[in-house]
Chain A
Amino acid sequence: MAVRKFRRIEDVPDHPARANALDGLRAACELSELAAAIGIHFAAPRGVRRFRSIEELDEHRRSWELPDRDPGDNAS
């Protein structure tokens, strides 16, 4: 593939849309498995947790996406 240069990240085109939704789901899962394979492991919290907003969920997510934190730290 030839080298292409862009002035801004926003200018980089996405690759062409995949043929179907299943291919897209598969690609996302493969990316996630690749992240795990190269050592980016996350201990997702188990069980049911309730949040008053998606922002509250995001705040909790940041706590367990950081590998050194206990996923139960900010549990609701």
Chain B
Amino acid sequence: MRLDDVMAVIDALEKAEVRYAVFGAMAMAAHGLERATRDLGLFVAVDEDNIARLRQALGTVFDDPELQEITADDLAGEYPVIQYGPADADYTIDIVGRLGDAFAFDDLEILTTSVGTSTLRVVSPATLYLMKHDTVRPRDRDDAARLRRAFDVGE
């Protein structure tokens, strides 16, 4: 995954006024706690208009008719997690409408920060900690420990 790949997606989301927040490893990186990753995690509001803007935004970056398969019905319903893998890429975009019963878009604390000439909306360290501290993946538990040490969250 290259920085240009990430910024192309972020720029497109911002221009299309998508309600989104980066979460996961890229959010960790935006808060200064980077590690290697193979995905860009996007938490999104799951209303029809927003998901239409999401499809339109991604369509400006990836010329791929499969993007039409990303629907609000799925994200708000039985399939709240959708993975999109662009052609010839070594990464995926993980689109999430909710995480279990714990998190929907409106539950997130979202920070806005500048990244070069663009803007980035990113889940706050405190919300990231809450997402990660009680999961079974060792990688997430390690992320939670790093967040706790760096931002004094979770105590």
- B-binding residues in A (CB < 8 A): 10, 13-14, 16-18, 20-36, 41-54, 56-58, 60-61, 65, 76
Contacts and interface: CB of A to CB of B under 8 A. Distances in A.
B4 to A, nearest CB: 9
A33 to B, nearest CB: 7
A18 B32 contact: yes
Interface of B: 1-3, 5-7, 25-26, 28-39, 66-67, 69-70, 74, 78-92, 94, 96, 99-100, 113-116, 120, 122, 137, 145-146, 149-150
Contacts of A21: 29-31, 113-115, 120, 122
A28 B115 contact: no
A45 B80 contact: no
Contacts of A49: 82-85
B34 A31 contact: yes
A22 B10 CA distance: 12
